[in-house]
Structure 1
């Protein structure tokens, strides 16, 4: 690495020289590293190719899940969701004990009990994980997919953002086959309630239970609003919204 002292300050690449700025100073360095062609063909880089193939597969699996959940994820996510999902899918992929290295699959890993446990409890928005927002007990019925709350008091059992006057609850069940990339989702009715001390008993039941090869993911969402002149507005671009995987079957 050399320091550029010339009058003309360049940033960018010319031939095999890269000019860049760091801490207010200008530097130049020669491009290096292994060529893409060598990585793709040299036998000594076989481990690199295997790791790259599994990395790409895990990243695609995470993208598949995010897109399959659709608007739910768009309403409740943090800035590092894609990278966190990649890490989770990589762990699940590692549970595939039948495929060769470089060909291990998320779809085979999640078919195991351990794989399902890794995804269970995943929070799509770390700014608002379920355990730090909801303090009311609920029950889950795997036969109907329903999530039931008994004597839920929102003002006492929700950690709600300042200014919130109302909240909504909704559940969904997603059938997803990571191998074929087939997906189908069914939602419960959206329940909107004021944040008050009035107890309520709410049951969220999806309209159907999509099934087939792959897995069923049951998710629960909370979103918060402020009512002004009879109109409810989401708070701070939905930063406080919750979306969590309740169960994986």
Structure 2
């Protein structure tokens, strides 16, 4: 390792040189270690068998996740964080791991989703992790989802919602997606949005949507979005303030 003598410190990598600060605060440089790993070794060495099997399963879930992210695409456009895709991959991998029929490397998402726990993993998945429904509704015991209907009795706009500072209006909507897991196809029905001012009186919120006619895995999403009134215009706030959550499922 070489000691760096300079009026400033350098950290990072340039070509084959790695610059770092050692435990004594001395700026040093060293050659990057050469890796003896090759694609051929990874494919053939027994010691990498488990990693190869995990890689196969992850690839399967990443492919399925492309469709999963589209199930409520209209909601996700308006409520999504930067790690949405990665979290979707992780969710589907957890579902796949519930496949008890097949061994590591041969486990299938289509089997895992048929199990009780595999399906329950879906509930509460947030497109925007920073604004989960549990933080948007002040009291989550007031609302319920039943028979393709979301209801919130005696909703008090000013007190029952955690409002972003600039928001003057909130939009609620519901969607049900039917996902044919085997064919990896889907259809989604969206409801009619309800827009409520922060200053309105108490009221009953009822959201309904007719599910798709196909009967496979049906997933229900709720959207809660915020906007601010400027003159006669209603301007949507950034998606980081909004919520899109899976609140129900039914495997038909």
Per the normalisation by structure 1, the TM-score is 0.86
- Provide the aligned C-alpha RMSD in A: 2.4
User: Mind listing any 5+ residue stretches in structure 1 that lack a counterpart?
Assistant: none
Pairing partner for 1:75 from 78, 85, 103 = 78
Count residues with an aligned counterpart: 239
Structure 1 partner of 2:143: 138
Structure 2 partner of 1:86: 89
Shift of 1:160: 0.8
Instruction: Work out the CA distance in 1 between the residues paired with 2:58 and 2:179.
Output: 20
User: Mind listing any 5+ residue stretches in structure 2 that lack a counterpart?
Assistant: 22-26
Structure 1 partner of 2:234: 232
Structure 2 partner of 1:220: 222
Structure 2 partner of 1:205: 208
In structure 2, the CA distance between the partners of 1:107 and 1:198, relative to structure 1 (3 Å rule), is same
Question: In the alignment, is the contact (CA less than 8 A) between 2:77 and 2:239 conserved in 1?
Answer: no
SS in 1 for 2:220: strand
Q: Deviations over 1:184-203 (max 9, x none)?
A: 11100011111124122232
Question: In the alignment, is the contact (CA less than 8 A) between 1:172 and 1:206 conserved in 2?
Answer: yes
Instruction: Work out the CA distance in 1 between the residues paired with 2:119 and 2:70.
Output: 19
In structure 2, the CA distance between the partners of 1:231 and 1:22, relative to structure 1 (3 Å rule), is farther
Instruction: Work out the CA distance in 2 between the residues paired with 1:62 and 1:96.
Output: 17
Residue 17 of structure 2 corresponds to residue 19 of structure 1: yes
Shift of 1:210: 4.1
Instruction: Work out the CA distance in 2 between the residues paired with 1:4 and 1:177.
Output: 61
Structure 2 partner of 1:28: 31
Question: In the alignment, is the contact (CA less than 8 A) between 2:174 and 2:190 conserved in 1?
Answer: yes
Question: In the alignment, is the contact (CA less than 8 A) between 2:76 and 2:127 conserved in 1?
Answer: yes
What pairs with 1:44-193 in structure 2 (closer than 5 Å)? 44-134=47-137, 135=139, 137-142=142-147, 145-193=148-196
Q: Deviations over 1:105-136 (max 9, x none)?
A: 22211111111111111122121110111136
Question: In the alignment, is the contact (CA less than 8 A) between 1:19 and 1:27 conserved in 2?
Answer: yes
Shift of 1:6: 11
